[in-house]
A and B are shown apart, each in its own frame.
Chain A
């Protein structure tokens, strides 16, 4: 009985949490973001302020989820992640909450977002206000935007899988992140996200909360130096090797995690 009650309670809290995320997001989009826009000229300064705003919001959001007992979160190496400015942060992508967790840990984060969101009524304001990078830019423009962003000291968060992991399958990485790293000679900070029992996976409705409270474990891993992918005869070979190397790395991390 106690277990069932706990399950129901977490189901209700998860629903509330989603309502808070979307409702709260909408309210903020209509109040705080326009206020920042009013007080800050367009461009990098405004983006930086909005990025910090998103950081504190997500941080508060994760804190509330923990307080409500919906999830548990342990982070190994949070300081190193916070210190990883101006680099690419690469992570696996098991759940819907990953980006919220990471942005709550990194004060100024940048990401590459579906171009269609620019026309969305409330997320559009968010992605424009934070200066996030559209994924439908021409390759040169996309690389340029990533270069500028990291040069400003933002952490560029990338999930190389492109979408959430299919449960039970090893992560399959696309090559885009490796192209950016090899073209821009950027360092990579690796992060592994483990969620047990799994929740909020691809294709599962939010109210399917697992029988036990999900535990998120964020492990800040190695920092890879860009020199590893420099000095190849062809950049394309370095990018391919990096993809294979990280697929193997995550297979190992997820196997013993």
Chain B
């Protein structure tokens, strides 16, 4: 019977091409706009950490003095970072910050390029599930005893070294030679959940160097450096000794026990520092907090407000389209009342009439959905073009393949329910007398 209803629906759609086109257009535009908003939202609100989201915790400390910032800084000071790194607490953790420099390789034709660099610890790759093509991270001992080793990504490997397994070869960061110990595959988490300082849609770095090199190499900071008191940074050492915050610190805390222990350890660390005259804001009862990835992304407001407004407005827009279609469907169905009268007289039940019309409405919805998907794709491409975010925005999220038909069918059925109900309650006798 379903195929029969589909056949009838399709005939009916073709019979009133203008009205049908109007309805399909209205629903497709509504769906298109909704899909665009949802797609952007999906992209922004995505949590690339997956199941590791609740395992990875960003450590934040209230190291500022009283009457300064009203919120936690996302970053830590160098001194706190070093104290955490050197502690004996058995927790896998990494410090990191974004830097940059001129990259070149000996014997390469490629001109030196400015690239962003992540200065971090050996566990970074394991903690954030970074895929290696060749080699691996540097030895854990390098985290304490600095060495000029580097992990680069495949793109850089191809540009400067012609691709292939180049572990053991040398590339230059500014004028300093670094030995390659690992080459990672294409890795581009969006949002860049381990550090959204430079924008959540910022690219992952192409070069990774040991954090232990920081005091020797004086890596420039390409992220935010925030200070709550006047502390001029004349030399790099000023920076290392200052209360300025600029380093992200992530800890792997797989269960509540681990979180509890780590919190306790941090609390006693803060007490110890208070004895040394730091952490002077006495208005507080706690000077530390741990945010898992999802909490960190929410706290960093990676989903722009505009996006939420758009979702609200597009939902309303879709509602207008639905009301519109509802009216048109009612028009169309009521015109068909005599035919329905005949069908009822010769034995169709209300349910059968209702189903017949719902199937027709669903067809319209699906057609609208398909065209809506085209609108959405077109809209997103244009949008990405305007925002210079082709790679991030200019594609449909895989979830849209489920989202589109559900929205299309749901919307159409919502709009079709009332007209179909009205028409299935047609009194057959009324329409049989006249022509």
- Is this pair of chains taken from one and the same complex? no
